[in-house]
Amino acid sequence: MLTPSVEALIQHLADGKFHSGKKLADTLQTSRTTVWKSVQSLQALGLEIQAVKGRGYRLTHPWERLNAEQITASIQVPEACPPPVVEVHDCLNSTNAHLLRTASLRPAASICLAEMQTAGRGRLGRNWVSPFGANIYLSLLWRFRRGESLGGLSLAVGVETVRVLRTLGLADLRLKWPNDILWQERKLGGILIEAITESQGQCVVVVGLGLNLRLPPGAADAIDQPWVDIRTILGGGSSRSDLAVPSRNRMAGDLSSRLLALLNAYGSEGLTPWLEDWRRWNCVLGRRVTVDEIGQRYEATAVNVTEEGSLVLRRDDGRRRLLAAGDVRLRVRHDA
């Protein structure tokens, strides 16, 4: 996706310091016009670049490129787990879609990351805003035996994600059934589980995870719900908040390690080992919720989650209903 000249320029600007147009042109052995056009290309991707007369160009925030070798080396591979294969792309339509499309060619424990997604997806086909070089867009392919119950997998993934984020200093995180990671009622991340059945009967599952690290203002304008990023949480809006943002490569390695351990155990253990923490960190149980399900809308109280990951609701007439993720929209009432 990136031309050689644009790739070279972004590497020089990655430190967040000013670089004069003349020095960049001399270093890159190109013209100042080419430097200017490359800056425009990076700005079109969503990177925030300042141009100041007499000082040159700089990225508003220091930038760290995702590195497959660095991520692979940092992954802790659980016993009896296939060795992970990590790939990093500049741009994909969707990391989940890419793994599903090429699943027959891949071993288990295939991990895919992208600097940018042009058609990032959330649950129920929602758009996931995915600007270049700003966040984490990670998908992991795994194979399960046919017949295993995977209904609670997104809940377990949410728990492991929160565990990683807590080690990085993020507090007050909450999980919304079945796949959202929230901070103070604002969306920090989302999980998308997709599966296909192979001819030999195995179930191929792709776990997709999107986390907001540092959303550029222009990209954030396209989000239609309350959102937050890690920079805001850790930095508190201060001028030093960029220093608080953790390494994307470290995060990718830590998340991959946790997800591999989870998937390696989930086939035999199911959701049970993760339920206690999910219940501790959830923001749904005991709350009034509005449910949109198969053309009908109703209100109820969320009372529990089953061992299979279904949400137990108590309707106003006293009846209980089990809610599987499926094509269901759930909104937590904040006025009740």
d(CA 115, CA 112): 10
- 3-state SS assignment for residue 143: strand
Closest CA to 132 of 16, 28, 243, 1: 1
d(CA 51, CA 35): 12
d(CA 66, CA 74): 13
Catalytic residue among 58, 123, 214, 248: 123
- Using CB atoms within 10 Å of the CB of residue 242, give its burial: 0 to 12 exposed, 13 to 18 middle, 19+ buried: middle
d(CA 138, CA 88): 9
Does the bond joining 84 to the residue before it have cis omega, within 30 degrees of 0?
A: no
Closest CA to 216 of 109, 153, 139, 133: 133
Catalytic residue among 17, 55, 331, 333: 331
d(CA 204, CA 156): 17
123 is catalytic: yes
Query: 326 Cβ partners below 8 Å, 6+ apart?
Result: none
Cα four-point dihedral sign 226, 253, 241, 56:
negative
C-alpha to C-alpha distances, 48 to 133, 135, 154, 176, 204, nearest whole angstrom: 11, 14, 33, 32, 38
The angle subtended at Cα 268 by Cα 263 and Cα 274, nearest 5°, is 60
Catalytic residue among 143, 187, 214, 248: 187
C-alpha to C-alpha distances, 158 to 192, 262, 300, 322, 336, nearest whole angstrom: 10, 11, 23, 20, 25
Q: Which residues are catalytic?
A: 123, 187, 331
